Amino acid sequence: MEPNRFYDIHFHEMDLSHANLTAFLNRFMNEKNGLLNKEFVKRLLEKNLPRWKVLFLPFISYTVIAKRIISVVQDRIFTKKIRNLLSYMETSIQYDFLIVDYFLKNRDPKIVSADNRIKIGTLKYDRIVLCPLIMDFGYKTLNNKGIFYNIPPQKPITKQVKDLFDAIYTYYNNELSIRIENGIIKFKVTPVEANYEKKLFEIYPFMGINPKNYSFEEVTKMLDKYFSDFSKSDTMDERKNKLREKMGLQLMDLNDESSCKNRFAGIKVYPPLGYEPWPDAAEERKKVDYMYDFCIARNIPIITHCGTAGFLADADNSKYADPGFQWGEVIKNKPGIKVNFAHFGDGSDEWKETIIDHIYRTESKIYTDFSCNTEHDEYFKKLKTTIEKSEHPELLTDRILFGSDFMINLIWLKSYNEYLEEYIKTNHLSDSLKNQFAQKNPEMFLFG
């Protein structure tokens, strides 16, 4: 009997060797909209250094002021959650799937039983489908003004691809156990006979591509290498089987094209890192035009970041995430393209309305996910209201996908367990809607 699957359409797997930390710091320190912008610092000082203290600053030692500022920064910025995220990312990606699996079954809140069962009301699932999204961090035009080693960081996408598929192979061919020695937690990875039927996760990654980082010829070769075996005539079962046959049962050989085919379920693009959906430059337009036609011809889904925050390399790039800026041209000129606007335009009501408008276009196959939004129950209440007040609520509910944005969401919560628990327990969505967002709709997006 086919197992009942719970889909997480928006999941990240990377370690600190993959991320473009320069871009992260640029986002963090950006004067206009970064965390440490002028307004933030001003509010921080006003709250922690009241006016009467400012008047007496000349009489307060710099040591006291420094200690106070350091205390505030540690308390407000370098919190336990940030350390939690960094702790997870410091571990090699090779063991991440084993770790998440173990913690779902053994740490509170326990979401998964020992026999891989998850319950949502009366519904039961015995498999979680993860879609790890590779991000193309090779931001070759990053301007590192003001520093000595001012070269743009190079992050070869091939390394991240290889590391991710090594991690998938490790997951299916090993088990993880944890022990405590002298108060220190240690884990052990033990080889087992590969059998994905016994595992909790099915893993269907998305390939990260930014055509700006490659020549036209390189873009065409990359698409052929990973996706040329897909066909628009594939049935849902045929597409699933093509992916499952390569899922973790053998190591990936990047030099062997036959080994690379059917490894990815779709393509991930990330506008804050410089991806332009509909560039003005002729050569860049040629690349994305080819990629879109290639995806339409083979029924390949695309996921794009669509929120006002994110991994921003340059403040000017935020406009490319706007679903109404260049994406409107893509949808108008490429009918039949299948795109998931991730995060449901988080941070902008206008962006959310634009996504809904795209969904209502009858020729489109537009979806959205609510990843990184649902760590608080209040979001589900707002989501329900959005659906009920929409012009076509049934069509909208057909195009919404469950996503977590794990591990990025560790900035706001402590675990993947916690994120899933919020979804399972919310009373603002019926069990039927939860199933639609986490099973029926993702199946159509990935394979339909």
Question: What is the DSSP annotation of 6-60?
Answer: EEEEEE----TTTS-HHHHHHHHH-TTTSTT-HHHHHHHHHHHS-HHHHHTGGGS
Residues 260 and 207 in one domain: yes
Q: Which has the minimum average pLDDT: 96-105, 235-244, 358-367, 398-407?
A: 358-367
Window from 16-25, 192-201, 238-247, 263-272 with minimum mean pLDDT: 16-25
pLDDT at 50 over 70: no
Section 275-304 average pLDDT: 97
54 against 150, higher pLDDT: 150
* Spatial separation of the C-alpha atoms in residues 364 and 358, rounded to whole Å: 7
pLDDT reading at 98 higher than 60: yes
CA distance 7 to 25: 32
54 plus 139 within the same structural domain: no
Residue 16's contacts (CB-CB under 8 Å, 6 or more residues apart) are 86, 89, 90
Please report how many Cα atoms fall inside a 13 Å half-sphere around the Cα of residue 323, on the Cβ side: 29
In residues, how long is the chain?
448
For range 127-134, the mean pLDDT: 96
Tokens for 301? 């889904």
C-beta of residue 379 within 8 angstroms of C-beta of residue 370: yes
Please compute the mean of the pLDDT values over residues 241-257 and round it to a whole number.
90
212 & 67 share domain: no
Q: How far apart are CA 48 and CA 52, in angstroms?
A: 11
Q: What is the mean pLDDT of residues 213-230?
A: 96
Phi, psi of 107 (to 5 degrees): -120, 140
Question: 103 and 70 share a domain?
Answer: no
Of the spans 73-82, 247-256, 339-348, which averages the highest pLDDT?
Answer: 339-348
Q: What is the mean pLDDT of residues 410-428?
A: 92
Asked if pLDDT for residue 190 goes beyond 50, the answer is: yes
Burial (CB count <10 Å: 0-12, 13-18, 19+), residue 75: exposed
Q: Indicate the range of 175-184, 294-303, 388-397 predicted with least confidence.
A: 175-184
The tokens describing 45, both together, are 């000082």
Given a cut of 80, whether residue 321 has pLDDT beyond it is yes
What number is the average pLDDT over the span 323-329? 95
Same-domain pairing of 274 and 356: yes
Residue 327 has pLDDT above 60, yes or no: yes
For residue 93, is pLDDT > 60? yes
Q: Convert the pLDDT of each residue in 63-79 to its tens digit.
A: 665 666 666 655 555 56
**Number of structural domains found in the chain:** 2
- % of the chain exceeding 70 in pLDDT: 82
Q: Tell me what the mean pLDDT of segment 412-428 comes to.
A: 93
Q: Within this chain, do residues 72 and 85 fall inside the same structural domain, yes or no?
A: no
**Has residue 33 been placed in a domain?**
no
**Residue 314, in any domain of the structure:** yes
Q: How confident is the model at residue 271 (pLDDT cuts 50, 70, 90)?
A: very high
Does residue 29 form part of some domain? Answer: no
User: pLDDT-derived band of residue 22, with 50, 70 and 90 as boundaries?
Assistant: low
Give the separation between CA 345 and CA 325, rounded to whole angstroms: 13
Structural domain includes residue 32: no
pLDDT surpassing 50 at residue 31: no
Give the contacts of 392 (CB within 8 A, at least 6 positions apart). Answer: 360
pLDDT: which is higher, 87 or 45:
87
Q: Which of 351, 298, 362, 311 is nearest to 327 (CA)?
A: 351
For 54, the domain range is 38-76
Q: What is the mean pLDDT of the chain?
A: 86
Last residue of a domain, one of 26, 52, 76: 76
Residue 27 lies in a domain: no
Residue 290 placed within a domain: yes
Rg (CA), the chain: 23
Do 68 and 97 belong to one domain? no
pLDDT bracket for residue 361 (50, 70, 90)? confident
Looking at the structure, tell me whether residues 392 and 307 fall in a common domain.
yes
For residues 364-388, average pLDDT? 90
Residue 58 burial (C-beta neighbours within 10 Å; 0-12, 13-18, 19+): exposed
Q: What is the CATH number of the domain that holds 262?
A: 3.20.20.140
Q: 146 and 197 share a domain? A: yes
- Please say if the pLDDT value at position 179 is more than 80: yes
Q: What b/e sequence results for 174-206 when a residue is b if at least 16 CB atoms lie within 10 Å of its CB, and e otherwise?
A: bebeeeeeeeeeeeebeeeeeebeebbbbbbbb
Higher local confidence (pLDDT), 375 or 300: 300
* % of the chain exceeding 90 in pLDDT: 61
Q: Is residue 26's pLDDT more than 60?
A: no
pLDDT interval class at 140 (50, 70, 90) = low
Strand pairing class (127-132; 201-203)? parallel
**With 60 as the cut, is the pLDDT of residue 58 above it?**
no
- Do residues 405 and 343 make contact, with C-beta atoms less than 8 angstroms apart? yes
